[in-house]
Amino acid sequence: MEGYRLIDIAAAYLKEEAVGKAIKRSGVPREELLQCSPRSKYTEACLNE
């Protein structure tokens, strides 16, 4: 196994779509990846709407 398997997809980076496309192109099975998205004041506000 080579390459990164942990991906930080924090909403603050505004890169969710690009990361999703890259993961799909990579061919790495989803079960081999760990995505983390730390909560922030922004995401908390969105969740509470």
> How high is the pLDDT of residue 35?
76
Provide the strand spans (E) within the chain. 6-8, 34-36
The per-residue pLDDT for range 10-37, each reduced to its tens digit, is 777 788 888 889 889 999 888 888 877 7
> How high is the pLDDT of residue 48?
59
**For the chain, what are the domain ranges?**
6-47
Q: Is the pTM of this model over 0.75?
A: no
- Sorted by sequence, the CB contacts under 8 Å of residue 8 that are 6+ apart come out as 35, 36, 37, 38
Return the structure tokens found at 38.
Answer: 């730390």
Return the structure tokens found at 24.
Answer: 């799909």
Check pLDDT > 80 for residue 45.
no
Q: Does 43 or 14 have the greater pLDDT score?
A: 14
Check pLDDT > 60 for residue 49.
no
